Chain A
Amino acid sequence: MIQHHPTEQTLLAYATGSLPEALAIVTATHLAQCRLCRQALGTLEATGGAILDELAPVPLSGDALNRLLDRTDEPAPLPPPVLHPDLPAPLNRVALGRWWPVGIGVRYRPLQTAGAAWGGLILAQPGRSLPKHGHEGRELTCILSGSFADGHGHYQAGDLSEPLTDHDVPPMVTGGAPCLCIIASEGMRLRGLLGRVQRLIG
């Protein structure tokens, strides 16, 4: 049962397309599993549609339609291939680097995305904490399997953590299974090994 969701601000940024790619991928991972948030997103997108209708039209050049009608035989672009059948959508189609050890019992696999945010998979063994960071800007974590707890709550598969303040307590893996999650952040200052890997693969 999913209990933690993105803020409305984050969903709105996703709906308008202004969320940096890495953060959007984490949000989409949650959306793929959360019917409630898909409904909220549907309302936001319908608002986008309604506002599009209201815009004062700006005419295109006179031959625009004919130029387009000449292209109606073009095939639609193919969807990106599934690269990682072991991961849930949409992560199965995104480019990922290799796994890096970033501490005892913690590994990191970066998303190969552009834009103002970065992110990747984190796999942490039971009892380990997720890498420490102080963050500026948005940070999102969606759990794929296992669970963790921090000062704000207990998070399980499908939950999305969006801390609004600095972690006072680093997220700690709970239960007997490893915790796999996808994280993304803008402007997170990394410490320790993950920071060094981050600089190395930049």
Chain B
Amino acid sequence: MTQEKPSPDGPDHAALIASIAVNRDRAAFAALFAYFAPRVKAWMMRAGSNPTASEELAQETMLAVWQKARLFDPARAGASTWIFTIARNLRIDALRREHHPADLMPDPTDEDEGPLQADRVLSMSQQEVRIRAALSLLPPDQAEVIRKAFFEDKVHSEIEKDLGIPLGTVKSRLRLAMTRLRGMLGDLG
């Protein structure tokens, strides 16, 4: 059995983060920056921040990636997922002057999750790959409500307005989409 890489068509982002953690590897950081900073900026702009603020948040996100690289645990989250949560928390801080409670949570290594098994490490690094595949298989209407919910910071009533569909339909599409995604991940255990 061959092990899937987190990103089949790109560099192994988890390995780049590990290299930053261990070697303070500036080349690895530059590669990570080239991939993620423009995506985080794109997200912030879609979510309604102006280009300057969006660039600022992308910068702060990547600085936090450098600073927190040692806390990255590929057994618990893929690279994209980890960077998504960092950017999300910084965005909340910046825009609302609120802390996301995830920032207040104890260090994940203190959590009582039980010992990690080798197969779980493998499956967590594959989770993003599977979700990406699952997203591409969703019917377009379901994929659309998920994207809007995640990256345009829309409450359901706004999605309703945007798409011109009733709120009940927005909710049921979201629910269907999430159920479907979970179903495709169900075999991860």
Query: CB within 8 Å of B: which residues of A?
Result: 8-9, 12, 15-18, 20-21, 24-25, 27-28, 32, 35, 40, 42-61, 64-65, 67-69, 71-72, 74-76, 79-80, 89-90, 93-94, 113-115
Size bracket, chain B contacts? 35 or more
Q: Which 3 pairs from chain A and chain B are nearest by CB?
A: A57-B38, A49-B81, A28-B101
Contact B41 A60 (CB under 8 A): yes
A49 to B43 Cα, complex, angstroms: 11
Query: CB within 8 Å of A: which residues of B?
Result: 7, 24, 26, 29-30, 33-34, 36-43, 45-46, 51, 54-55, 58-59, 62-64, 66-68, 76-85, 87-89, 91-92, 96-106, 113, 127-128, 131-132, 135, 146-147, 149-151, 153, 155-156, 171, 174-175, 178, 181-182, 185
Q: Which residue of B lies closest to A92 (CB)?
A: B104
Contacts of A42 in B (CB 8 A): 76-77, 81, 127
Contacts of B131 in A (CB 8 A): 43, 46-47, 49-50
Chain B interface main SS type: helix
Q: Which residue of A lies closest to B133 (CB)?
A: A50
Which of A16, A35, A75 is B88 in contact with, Cβ under 8 Å?
Answer: A16
Contacts of B113 in A (CB 8 A): 35
Contact A46 B81 (CB under 8 A): yes
Contact B77 A18 (CB under 8 A): no
Q: Which residue of A lies closest to B95 (CB)?
A: A17
